[in-house]
Amino acid sequence: MRRPILTALVAVVGLLLLADYLVVNASLAELADLLISAAILVAAGAALAGVASLALRRGGDLWRRRGDPVGALLVLGGMAAVLVAGLRPGTAGAGDPAVGWLLAALVIPIGASLFGLLFVSTLAASRRSLAMRSRDGTVLVVAAIVVLVLLLPLGGTVGSWLSEAAGWSLTFPLGAVFRGLLLGIAVVAAVVAARTLLGVGPADD
């Protein structure tokens, strides 16, 4: 009984938002804003529930001495530091200098380190693709080399030409591929969501 109600609710909300996008009406716009605000609240509640679930799981790992205790301590310590910085008395919330310091001193360097590891792993994957003589891998490696050459920080006429070529490639061919990927992902996500809400499985195809 819950699935038809949920399906009908999602369908009605989607149609109302689509109607607000296509029709100019003040009452419909207010209703759409209300629905969007409710969706934001639901998403925020889901995010808080996810954070609480992660904290309970990591706390349970420490209590039962299972898994990676160092990783669990780091996760719980990081969550506690951000919560204290953002919720302590007199704080400015997400715009507080302490929260900004945590992001600038910890989160951003960790992200940069992960991207550095990604670069190394990409080089290793490129070497393996060339060693396997894969046609798709060779095309990807050649395209990556071309993009790197276009983004070289050179001056003079050559640097200006490379900059213009890089801007054109990022705007047109790469931008078109990226938009196609986003459209494909959106279509697949919509189909999977519709199949899940309607209860359509492989046996029903």
| Dist. CA 158–CA 177, nearest whole Å | 27
Given a cut of 70, the residues of the chain with pLDDT beneath it are: 1-3, 197-205
Whole-number Cα distances in Å, 144 to 62, 117, 148, 159: 44, 17, 6, 18
pTM above 0.85, yes or no: no
Report pLDDT for 1.
47
Q: Cα 10 vs. chain centroid, distance in angstroms?
A: 23
Q: What's the pLDDT at 153?
A: 79
**pLDDT at residue 201, as a whole number:** 62
Amino acid at 38: A
Query: What is residue 71's predicted lDDT score, i.e. its pLDDT?
Result: 83
> What is the pLDDT at residue 202?
61
Distances from the Cα of 72 to the Cαs of 51, 60, 65, 78, 79, in angstroms?
13, 9, 10, 10, 11
Report domain extents, the chain: 1-67
Residue 203 has a pLDDT of 55
